[in-house]
Structures are given as structure tokens and as C-alpha cells.
Amino acid sequence: MGGQGDPPLLQDLKLTILSSSVLHPSPPLERRSMFLSNIDQVLNFTVETIHFFAANPDFQSEIVVERLRSAVERVLLPYDFLAGRLKLEDEEGRLEIDCNSAGVEFLVAESKLKLDEIGELEYPNPAFRQLAAARAVKEGVKMEDQPLCSFQLTFFKCGGFALGISNNHVTFDGMSFKNFLQNLAYLAAAGHNNTLPTPPFTNRHLLSTRCPPRVTFPHPELFETPSSAMLELSPSTTTLNFKLLRLSAADISSLKLLSQPHSTRPTSFNVVVAHLWRCKSLSLSPDQDLKRTSMVLYAVDIRKKVSPPLPPEYTGNAVLTAYGAATVEDVGKGEFGKVVEAVAKGAERMENEYARSVIDWGTLHRGFPKGDMFVSSWWKLGFADVEFPWGKAVYVCPVAHPRKDIVLLFPSIGGVDKGVNVLVALPKEEMERFEEYFYKLLPTAE
């Protein structure tokens, strides 16, 4: 079981920006408009990832900068939409990408600190945002002038460095971002031509609405909003506490055993989500309605679930929100295995007709997922497995943002013991109860 203490967090990484430029596809490309699916439409917010690399004596900072700069310019040819800008289509007010070669931001910075002085890498310090070209999202700048992707290289005194990538979620889901990283790493290697190992498939019409749209299932996991195209996911205004909680491989194995005999699908993911859902239900206020239906949400890749299947290289967002539902009382105090089964049913119902029904619902109603908790899993995406010329990342983590009831799962450094890190953001009192139950309800707890 992971430790419960919080490490001290640096607030200032002592950065100096050495250079800032805008990179464009070379040679220039023909301008076009890129259709965005209903799934893309509701993901108009920024995702920031930090990739930490150890020092490599064969790759001094100047070489890394030049290799990466060249790779970015070349990768923008097949990924032309990255250098574009969001715009609203006139007729229906839908978002689309104007592939106008406006470019991506490329920053180079240095820190006065060594890599081992910035704190525990596994703990997503909000200050790590300083490493992710967050300056690209400028207050007061119109949507059509905002870069969709930015890169920042930050070099530390020890020779180690961080690659921060800031991108609008309309550009990639987790799988297509992993493919993008592999292509970028390939181009950064000396002597390679522009033939990519995994060329992107960018036709997002494969996930367009049926004509006419048909909603063939009830969708309690969604709620309608007046104008989804212009609504962005904003940080919570409530004061939130961050906690990094850890589950070891032994903890996960014990949760699988606890789920028997009531669950036939006790995967690592299912039991972890069920455990978090149970903690969430028990940590709510004491006067809650125990008979109220509680829902836990999580993303499911639909590339292989729709018919015909999407190509593995499909670039964009091919994930939909699955849900588990049960009463608050059953989640908190019922058989754990039944909670695991409720989680598993979410992915089980996500077959072709259900997925198409969700997409069509988005055309008719324009809305967002709703639930008690959304679990976003970076656990097994494999970003740290990508081999750059200077080696694999020591660690890859998301930048923490204060969004209540969104829980992040991500791996430990090097995949040590195959456990999982859990990042939770909740109000103080609710967090205290959540953390107490998180460890108390583990079968390995004494």
C-alpha cells in the first residue's frame, strides 16, 4: 500500500525562456477545413503532458533542440491540423479546424535547478505547468488565434530535460497521441526520411452522425446544454485539495479477490474504479439520499467496437463515456463484486449501436457527460515507452488541474510493481473522508 504523506511542492521552477518561435509545415500545405466529430466537439480544452528525460552525454541541449525542432516541422506535414486553428462553421455553429498552417509554438527554456531538485516526479505538482508551454493559451486571445499545440523544452542544470506538450484535446485522444509521439520520435532520429511508422488517419467523418440521427438507447450519462460548441471545461472555482494516493500490485490483487464470487470480470481497471466509486459514495455528506442513483464515468476506446472498425491509426477522439450505475447505498455498503460488475457493464454496453446512438444524441441535444465521478486513465497508454534518440522518458505525467470529481490514474515510475497512482481533487472535508476510506477499505489494510 502506498504512503499517505504529501511531499513538499516547489512553487517556482526558476525558469528562463531562452527562445520562442512558431514552426510551420515545410513546405506550406494547401489550406483546408477539417471536420470534427461530435466526440471532438465536447473536448475543447487543453491537455498538458510533461515528459522527463535523464541526461544523455551524446545529446547535448543544442542537439536535442535541433533534432526536435526539425522533427516537429516535418511531422506537421501529415499532421497539418496541428498547425491550424479552431473556428466555428457558419451554418450550424460547429467547431472545425482551419488547417491554415498558422503554426505551433516552440519554446526553449532552462532551469536553475537540477532535475532531482524539482520534487517527486510522480506527484503532479501544479507548478509543472511551467514546463508545458502554458503561455500558449493567452487570456483574451480569440479562439481562432490560439495555437492548437505547443512544445517546450526545458533543460536542467544536471543535463536532464523536460519536454512539455500542450495541445487542445480536439486534436488527439490517448491512443492517437501515443501514435503521434512515436512518429515524432522516429523523425527526431538521424537519417530517417519522412515515411512514418504509423501514418495518421485523419478522416473524422467515420464518426459523423447518421442521417437522420437515431437515438436508440436512453443516455442517463449525458445532459443537455444550450451551446456545447462554445463551452469549455474550466477549472473548479471551489477550493480543492490534491492528493496522490497509491495502490500497489498487491492492493489490486486483493481487490480482485474481494470481488469474488459476485464478479466475473475483475480486471485491474474495473476493481480500481469500483474501489474509487465506493470511496466517493461513502465520503459524501451524511445527509445524502442513499436511494439516489450514483454514476461513475470512464472513457472507452471505440475503435474496435464500431462497425466497421476504425483503423488503429485513426487520429482524433475515438473514445466515449461509459457508465456504471447503482444506488449510493449499494455502492457504498453493498457487495464489492456487484460494484465491480456495475463498472464492467459500462464497457460491455458500448457496442456499435450504442456508440452510434451516443454520437447521434450529440447532434440532437448537444451535451456533456454527467456523473458523480469521472475516472480518466493514463495508466496503460504507454507514453513512457516511446523511444526518442536520447532514450525513453524517465516519467510522463499530466499537469494537474483543479477539477472536482475528475480522478486521474497513471503509472508509477518505470511501471514499478505494476501498481497505479490515483490523483484526486476534492474539497477539504470530503477529501479527508475519501482518503480515510481509500486505505481503510483495502483488504490488505490492517
Catalytic residue ranges: 169, 387
The residue with cell 473556428 is 87
Q: In angstroms, rounded to a whole number, what is the distance separating the alpha carbons of residues 227 and 216? A: 23
Classified as helix, coil or strand, 154 is: strand
Task: Report the largest interatomic distance among the alpha carbons of the chain, rounded to a whole angstrom.
Answer: 65
Q: How far is CA 384 from CA 59, 126, 259, 300, in A?
A: 19, 20, 31, 21
27, amino acid identity: P
Cell of 384: 513512457
Measured CA to CA, the distance from residue 445 to residue 439 in angstroms comes to 7
What does DSSP say about strands 149-155 and 104-111: parallel, antiparallel, or unpaired? parallel
d(CA 167, CA 48): 7
Q: How far apart are CA 279 and CA 440, in angstroms?
A: 10
Helix (H, G, I), strand (E, B) or coil at 207: helix
Alpha-carbon 8 to chain mean position: 25
Is residue 364 within 8 Å of 222, Cβ to Cβ?
no
Distances (CA, A) of 165 to 42, 195, 250, 361, 383: 21, 23, 33, 32, 12
CA 105 – CA 82 distance, rounded (Å): 11
User: Edge to edge, what strands does the sheet with 32-35 contain?
Assistant: 32-35, 95-99, 85-88
Residue for cell digits 516535418? Answer: 74
Q: How does DSSP assign 19-82, residue by residue? A: EEEEE--SS----EEEE--HHHHT--SEEEEEEEE---TTS-HHHHHHHHHHHHHHHTTTTGGG
